[in-house]
Chains A and B, each alone.
Chain A
Amino acid sequence: MLKYSPLITILSPLIGWLILTLFRSSISRRVAGVISSAAVAISCITVGLSANTILGGHPIDINLFNWISIPAMTLSLGLTLDKLSLLMGVMITGVGLLVHIYSIGYMAHDDNGTRYFSYLNLFIFFMLLLVMSDSMIGTFMGWEGVGLCSYLLIGFWNHNQLYLKAAVKAFVMNRIGDVGFVIAMAILAFQYGTLSYSELIHHLTVAPMSALALLTVGIGIVVALCGKSAQFPLYTWLPDAMAGPTPVSALIHAATMVTSGIYLVNRLHIIFDLSHPAQQLLLILGLLTLMIGGITATFQNDLKKILAYSTVSQLGFMVTALGLGWYQVALFHMLTHAFFKALLFLSAGNIIHGLDGEQDIKNMGGVRKLLPVTTLMMGIGTLSLIGLPPLSGFFSKDAILAAALAKSPIIFGILVLGAALTSFYMSRLIGYVFLGTYRGSVSHPHEGSVSMTGSLIVLGALSIAGGIFKTVFDLPETHHIEILLICLSLGIISTFGTVGIWWARRTVALQPSVRVIVGIDAVYDRFVVAPYLYFSRVIMNAVDRGLNHTVMNVGTVTRWVASGVVQIHTGNIGTYVILMILGIIALFLKVVAH
């Protein structure tokens, strides 16, 4: 029984999706919510039951089928539950289950609830496929699938043109990342004739490729990561993705889909071990992203956008850890981030839901009196994010700082700066939203339903206690600098936290501040989109219209020729006789010539 657990885990949400799609019109929202939650629960339980075996060192493998078997290449699809996929699976199904339960309350008034839950289940299926596949090709299928579900869910409220554009933007940027993935797959397949992880790792250890090939594969994976995990320069889709329902943001854009890149690098970390430039690239991009995310977050006025840029920044932290060679540190931070970011997003969902859709923090304030439970939860999430010991976030950030300090003080300095920014923008958010007096205009702000609050509490507990998981991972030694790090964290938090709150209180009365437009999108527009549109127009004129005209002109030419030839019919008998004579002459000549 246990040896089928990966299959059960994956199939359960798939069947949930199938049922909800086929019977969409006849299942009510509540029932849909229950069905989808149950499906994810089954996955969660199955994964949990297998944990013991796997942690004991016996990964569970299932070979599904051989797809391609030619002398040059063998591709097979299969599932494997080893430590890495177990961790990811637990995170996905656990947080996924909580988000599903939360959604039951959140989407209680939405007419399209059944469709929403079907998409959620489909997403869980693809994400599980991504992490449990034993070959790159299966991961790629899951990769594409979560991109698709992200598009479906971001554009869920599809009456709004702006939301649809955001969905398309997310999908297109993901796609650009996919190109990198495919290039990496192609080179590996061409070189080694297989895409199965175990075989690839074996081959790469025994007979690695040339440095250039390794670098290309590395770059390919990095590009894929940039697309999926929102690193510079492909990160602008993430803030726009906040157009979807908040639980979607919590699940996909905080805890699971955006972590696919981190997972991929972990699976194929041998590439980055072997290719130093690729690792450097990860480091640089990570540092760049965390700074950009942090800086942009401090200027945002939309509640969800602040959290979105915060996600971008935290992903930058994770990628920095990858770039330093500490892959498991990134995994640890990913786990704790899943807890507290999901908590933050869901609390934000509570606030938005309670304030009837208000998302601008300028119009909030004094929410601690209106929604006390939510305030508490959001507070816990914030403290974990900014790394207050002994919450979970502290331990993971700790690990990253330790790794950086071991490598170079400059990197350490940048990370500290990033942490400072995090404290600042989060406390600014707290100041605007929860403190002071209510500035908005909603008459009956109310707390969320039981399902919503319940999930929050669970996540809150995990955010607090998540630090105990640190023993699972392979982390750098921190004993000697533990005190230093604790003091550093406390120092950062207290100073920048206070500054943030003070800043919020001071500027609260001011009019809406200058909108900071992130320059990247404008750059994209000018240098990528505009030339592409121009090029398409050129092709349309040259090829489409040109072909059209050519085809039409064939007819015109025919008619012109005919109009010339028809002149023979003059209606004059004399002419006809002449023509006959000429014909006879021609015949004679033909005959006589023999």
Chain B
Amino acid sequence: MVIFGILSAIAITCGLAVILANRPIYSIIALILCLYAIGGIYLALHAEFLAIVHLIVYAGAIMVLFLFVIMLMNLDRPKYLNRSKFIQWLAIGSATGLGIVVTSAIAQTPAMKAAPIGSVTEIGKLLFTKFLVPFELSTVLFLSAVIGVVITAKSPTGDPDQ
């Protein structure tokens, strides 16, 4: 429980850092830390397989992708916050409101109890029986995403480098 508390504190702090950082590179670093913290929470929740996958996929692949884009395209521009103060406050306000609303909604649901499971074999079994079709379809999804990315990001003259 204590670990959960520490990890969630780190996650929240890093989340705030993501949106408040001066430069995008700081945001990325903060996000990586945040993702680590969340992975840790997964472990605390006895979802081991998921924790590993999370770290590999998110922190390892997606964030590296972000880093690459920012570095290669020289997008490391200084702080860009929406100039209109009104919009800023409105955004913060609405987000807070959302938080309050959801929390109060949850507070009204009765608490429940259960036992923890999280082994790899169990997940594997489910994946290839009940969720087989979505699994196959996700491969199609990846294929289309890859093709889309390649075509979109191709430079107009056909040159692989930009």
Contacts and interface: CB of A to CB of B under 8 A. Distances in A.
B98 A581 contact: yes
Contacts of A574: 82, 87, 91
- Secondary structure at chain B's binding surface: helix, strand, loop or mixed? helix
Interface in B64-116: 82, 87, 90-91, 94-95, 97-98, 101-102, 104-105, 108
B23 to A, nearest CB: 19
A578 B105 contact: no
Interface in A568-594: 574-575, 577-578, 581-582, 584-585, 588-589, 592
A588 B90 CA distance: 18
Contacts of B95: 581
Nearest to B108: A592
A161 B108 CA distance: 91
B94 A588 contact: no
A378 to B, nearest CB: 101
Given A575-B87, A581-B95, A588 B101 contact: yes
Interface string B19-32: 00000000000000
Contacts of B82: 574
Interface string A553-577: 0000000000000000000001101
B65 to A, nearest CB: 21
A575 B108 CA distance: 31
A592 B101 CA distance: 9
B91 A578 contact: yes
Contacts of B101: 585, 588-589, 592
B87 to A, nearest CB: 7
B104 A578 contact: no
Interface residues of A, number: 11
B87 A582 contact: no
Contact of B97 (A575, A577, A585, A592): A585
A585 B87 contact: no
A4 to B, nearest CB: 96
B104 A584 contact: no
B102 A588 contact: yes
A51 B102 CA distance: 109
Nearest to A592: B105
A585 B91 CA distance: 13
A592 B90 CA distance: 23
A581 to B, nearest CB: 4
A588 B104 CA distance: 10
Contacts of B98: 581, 584-585, 588
B97 A578 contact: no
Contacts of A582: 94, 97
B94 A581 contact: yes
B106 to A, nearest CB: 10
A578 B94 contact: yes
B79 to A, nearest CB: 15
B157 to A, nearest CB: 30
A578 B90 contact: yes
Interface in A71-104: none
Nearest to A579: B94
B72 to A, nearest CB: 24
Contacts of B97: 581-582, 585
A10 B41 CA distance: 114
B105 A585 contact: no
Nearest to A577: B91
A589 B104 CA distance: 10
A589 B95 CA distance: 15
Nearest to A582: B94
B87 A578 contact: yes
Contacts of B104: 592
Contacts of A589: 101
Nearest to B104: A592
A575 B101 CA distance: 20
Contacts of A581: 94-95, 97-98
A589 B102 CA distance: 9
Nearest to B91: A578
Nearest to A580: B94
Contacts of B102: 588
A574 B82 CA distance: 9
A140 B105 CA distance: 85
A115 B140 CA distance: 93
Interface string A169-211: 0000000000000000000000000000000000000000000
Contacts of A592: 101, 104-105, 108
Nearest to A586: B101
Interface string A140-165: 00000000000000000000000000
A264 to B, nearest CB: 85
A518 B87 CA distance: 83
A582 B104 CA distance: 16
A584 B99 CA distance: 11
Given A578-B91, A585-B94, A589-B101, 11 more contacts: A575-B87, A578-B90, A578-B94, A585-B98, A585-B101, A588-B98, A588-B102, A588-B105, A592-B104, A592-B105, A592-B108
Question: Lowest 9 A-B CB distances belong to which pairs?
Answer: A581-B94, A588-B101, A585-B97, A592-B105, A585-B101, A578-B94, A582-B94, A578-B91, A581-B98
Interface of B: 82, 87, 90-91, 94-95, 97-98, 101-102, 104-105, 108
29 contacts: A574-B82, A574-B87, A574-B91, A575-B87, A577-B91, A578-B87, A578-B90, A578-B91, A578-B94, A581-B94, A581-B95, A581-B97, A581-B98, A582-B94, A582-B97, A584-B98, A585-B94, A585-B97, A585-B98, A585-B101, A588-B98, A588-B101, A588-B102, A588-B105, A589-B101, A592-B101, A592-B104, A592-B105, A592-B108
